[in-house]
């Protein structure tokens, strides 16, 4: 009988976790003390080198990272659509208290400060 094994890799710490419980506990620590940079998805020779993190989920205490750029942007756009409907243009990152914005300025801030790429509309 073979037991299913799933390993989890933290791109921020360059650490492996062998159980879902260990991974979940580790993610809670990142959610409590998040990096200012959220969105730097990076590949090197086809291998993932950095994952994107959702600043909206971090605000809720959830460490949600993405390995796929399209899914990441779609996820963020879902949050931003809700914010636009409510007229809430505060930066969602827990360490950032910047408010100013209309949606264009929020997108620009996320791009320039938190390196969330792919949100700027041309």
Q: Which domain holds residue 64?
A: 8-112
Domain assignment present for 22: yes
Q: Report d(CA 70, CA 67) in Å as an integer.
A: 9
| In a domain? residue 3 | no
Q: Is residue 1 part of a domain?
A: no
pTM of the predicted model as reported, rounded to 2 decimal places: 0.79
Which regions of 1-122 does DSSP assign to beta strands (E)?
Answer: 8-10, 15-17, 42-44, 47-50, 52-53, 65-66
- Residue 86: predicted pLDDT: 87
The rounded average pLDDT for each run of 10 residues, N- to C-terminus, in the chain (122 residues) is 74 88 90 83 69 89 85 91 86 81 86 83 56
| Measured CA distances, 49 to 40, 85, 119 (Å) | 9, 34, 20
- On whether residue 120 sits in a domain, the answer given is no
CA distance 65 to 58: 10
């Amino acid at each position: 009988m073979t037991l299913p094994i799933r390993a989890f890799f933290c791109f921020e710490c360059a650490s492996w976790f062998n159980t879902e419980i260990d991974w979940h506990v580790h993610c809670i620590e990142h959610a409590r003390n998040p990096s200012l940079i959220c969105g730097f998805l990076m590949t090197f020779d086809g291998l993932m080198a950095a994952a994107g993190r959702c600043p909206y989920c971090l605000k809720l205490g959830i460490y949600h990272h993405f390995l796929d750029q399209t899914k990441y942007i779609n996820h963020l756009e879902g949050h931003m659509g809700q914010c636009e409907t409510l007229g809430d243009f505060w930066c969602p990152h827990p360490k950032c208290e910047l408010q100013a914005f209309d949606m264009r300025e929020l997108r620009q801030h996320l791009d320039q400060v938190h390196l969330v790429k792919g949100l700027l509309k041309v």
